[in-house]
A and B are shown apart, each in its own frame.
Chain A
């Protein structure tokens, strides 16, 4: 998707109006992937390879530092710490769901009827700025409130259901496919620029979701097959507020990720890896490397229409393969009898803080700078102001993005460390089980930093 970058949104002179830059944006000149991160890495004062090596070095060093924490009682105390508050949620939930159904109807209506300019259309701004940038961040920073908001679930529960049995062998695979398809669609279509298209996609997604919930019942559909509900469930596991059987509990961020059973099966591991991959894919197709590779591939006769789906699948296969390979090697380095599958399932949730870190790095700048436009558009959806104001981000904002990426990695290393202590009786064994994962994480960090430090290019053939 050609998301406006922070850099393109920053007027170089204070008098520059957004109208001018939005013309630029719409003409495809300045459309680019990523956000503050790419802007931050755009003009490095050190060579790129050193920038990449430093990122990898920080992750490796954080593993070394985590291995110094060898007191079982301390690790356990940190992760078992929780405060519980019982809150009457059911009454509130009815109200929030009602409001979100109204919001869903509003997004579709404004998408079809509102102004066609992206920065003035309340549907575009609500979905991308309010929901995808802002709301998703609250899910991993505060808690997963999606079950209380999910408008499709609300509608499905008000409607009758055939309650067919959900085929067990499908597992979480429909959600994996759904996530890959949604991100592919976002990359190849002007979903963030064209309100009419966005409205159609929302209608299409609603039809598929409601049909699924109608056939299999809301519980199994949103629990197993729906990619959005699953994405929020996993992002929500990073957050400090967790909903347990005894009410709302406050835990240290990431502590819930060390609980066993969050990713239970190859399908759920595949979904976690897919979250990480789609973040990377979104950035990767905006690099000049991809533009060259895509031109070459089409030059040797690959149909352009297959380009993006093939890249999506090939990269996903590579990520999944690397993760399973690491799990296999972990069995060797830890000298354990646990199967690679048991290891893969236990450590998959530790990848989630990395995804959350990248999300925040990419979207916080977008959210902050476009919030006034969102408010302006919402206050008068059918005829919003011609030139909505934007917040000009200060210079240190790009640094903040790099910090979020690193914080995500540090939390991931710590979560993996704590999980390893939980799984393995030997503490040295626990540390050794992490060697292959650290190698994969360092490589992944360097790949991501390479993507964000590459100059942005317009993805070809879309």
Chain B
């Protein structure tokens, strides 16, 4: 929640109307992102209403993230089983860590 925000170079496409942070003038892409930005970077300067708004927006974002994480978990499971499947074709004992340790050992032996 520091007040010292590094200034980033920004470039707003001409056909878009950004919201601008009143404290550091950084243009932001949506009203929600502005609320989050203010809460993260300028907490000390916010009034109680704005802080409450930040908490709500952050909570909403956390809900979105839950869905996102489920998708990521699904992807991770797919990747894991894809590798397991491919290894089962190319090695005799895909579950064994010896596959990996093996090449290290016999390469140096």
- Report which A residues bind B (CB closer than 8 A): 6-7, 10, 36, 39-47, 50, 53-54, 57, 60-61, 64-65, 67-68, 70, 72, 260-261, 335-339, 341-342, 346, 393-399, 402, 423, 425-429, 431
Q: Give the shortest distance, in Å, between A247 (CB) and chain B (any CB).
A: 21
- Is there a chain A Cβ closer than 8 Å to B76's Cβ? yes
The answer for the CA separation of A427 and B100 in the assembled complex, in Å, is 36
Number of B residues whose C-beta is below 8 Å from A? 45
Residues of chain A with a CB closer than 8 A to B103's CB:
40-41, 43-46
Given A43-B103, A426-B36, also A337-B61 (CB < 8 A): no
Are A40 and B104 in touch, CB under 8 angstroms?
A: yes
CA distance A57 to B86 in the complex (A): 12
A70 touches B62 (CB 8 A): yes
User: Is A50 in contact with B29, judged by CB distance below 8 angstroms?
Assistant: no
Interface contacts beyond A397-B108, A425-B40: sample of 13 additional A-B pairs, CB < 8 Å, sorted by A: A10-B108, A46-B87, A54-B83, A64-B79, A67-B68, A339-B11, A341-B9, A393-B108, A395-B109, A396-B101, A399-B104, A428-B61, A429-B33
| Bound complex: CA A46 to CA B83 (Å) | 12
Contact A425 B90, CB 8 Å, known A338-B8, A399-B100, A399-B101: no
Main secondary structure of the interface of B (DSSP, over half): helix
- Can you list 28 residue pairs at the A/B interface with Cβ under 8 Å? A7-B107, A36-B108, A40-B107, A41-B103, A43-B107, A46-B90, A46-B99, A53-B83, A53-B86, A57-B83, A61-B76, A64-B72, A65-B76, A67-B68, A67-B72, A70-B65, A260-B6, A337-B10, A337-B12, A337-B29, A338-B11, A342-B9, A342-B10, A395-B105, A398-B105, A399-B100, A402-B104, A427-B61
Distance of A83 Cα from B64 Cα, bound (Å): 36
B22 at the interface (CB under 8 A from A): no
Structural contact, B104 and A70, CB atoms closer than 8 A: no
Interface residues of B (CB under 8 A from A): 6, 8-12, 18, 27-29, 32-34, 36-37, 40-41, 61-62, 64-65, 68-69, 72-73, 75-76, 79-80, 83, 86-87, 90-91, 99-109
Q: Shortest CB–CB separation between residue A406 and chain B, in angstroms?
A: 11
Take A67-B69, A70-B62 as given contacts and tell me if A6 and B108 are in contact as well, using a CB distance cutoff of 8 Å.
Answer: yes
> What total count of A-B pairs have CB within 8 Å?
123
- On whether the beta carbons of B10 and A338 are closer than 8 Å, the reply is yes
* Interface pair A57/B79, CB less than 8 Å apart: yes
**Residue numbers in A under 8 Å from B12 (CB-CB):** 337
A417 smallest CB distance to B (angstroms) = 13
> Please, which residue of chain A has its CB at the minimum distance from the CB of B89?
A50
| Distance (whole angstroms) from the CB of B90 to the closest CB of chain A | 5
Once the chains bind, are B36 and A425 in contact (CB under 8 Å)? yes
Do the beta carbons of B36 and A261 come within 8 Å of each other? no
DSSP majority for the A interface?
helix
Query: Nearest Cβ in chain B — how far from A178, in angstroms?
Result: 28
Residue of A nearest to B13 (CB): A337
Output the least CB separation between B69 and chain A (Å).
6
B107–A42 touching, CB < 8 Å: yes
Specify which chain B residues have a CB less than 8 angstroms from the CB of A337 in the assembled complex.
10-12, 18, 27-29
Contact A50 B86 (CB under 8 A): yes
Most chain-A CB neighbours within 10 Å: which of B9, B10, B41, B79? B9
CA distance A72 to B54 in the complex (A): 14
Contact indicator B102/A45 (Cβ below 8 Å): yes
- With beta carbons under 8 angstroms apart, the residue of A45, A64, A261, A336 that contacts B29 is A336
**Min C-beta distance of B57 to chain A, whole Å:** 10
Known contacts A57-B83, A398-B108, A425-B28, A339 near B9 by CB under 8 Å: yes
Question: With A64-B75, A261-B6, A337-B10 in contact, is A50–B90 under 8 Å at CB?
Answer: yes
Instruction: Using A64-B76, A337-B18 as known contacts, say yes or no to A428 and B64 having CB atoms under 8 A apart.
Output: yes
Report A-chain residues with C-beta under 8 Å of the C-beta of B36.
425-426
Q: How far is the CA of A396 from the CA of B101 in the complex (A)?
A: 8
Complex Cα spacing A260 to B9, Å: 13
CB-based contact A426/B33 at 8 Å: yes
Q: How far is the CB of B43 from chain A (nearest CB, A)?
A: 12
Report the minimum CB–CB distance from A446 to chain B (whole Å): 14
Q: Tell me, in angstroms, the Cα distance from A312 to B45 when the chains sit together.
A: 52
Tell whether, in the assembled complex, residue A45 and residue B76 are in contact, meaning their CB atoms are under 8 Å apart: no
CA distance A53 to B83 in the complex (A): 9
Complex CA distance for A50 and B102, rounded to whole angstroms: 15
Known: A42-B107, A337-B27, A395-B108. A426 touches B32 (CB 8 A): yes
Distance from A157 Cβ to chain B, minimum over Cβ atoms (Å): 32
Q: Which of A36, A68, A427 contacts B72 (CB 8 A)?
A: A68
Q: How far in angstroms is the closest Cβ of chain B from A204?
A: 38
**B8 to A423, Cβ gap below 8 A?**
yes
- Using known A-B contacts A260-B6, A339-B9, determine if residue A39 contacts B29 with beta carbons closer than 8 Å: no
Closest chain A residue, CB of each to CB of B40: A425
Cα A223 to Cα B61 in complex, Å, equals: 43
Q: Is the CB of B76 within 8 A of A399?
A: no
Minimum Cβ distance to chain B for residue A18 (Å): 17
In the bound assembly, the distance between CA atoms of A335 and B76 in angstroms comes to: 25
- Determine the distance from Cα of A39 to Cα of B103 in the docked complex, in whole angstroms: 9
Shortest CB-to-CB span from B36 to chain A, Å, is: 4
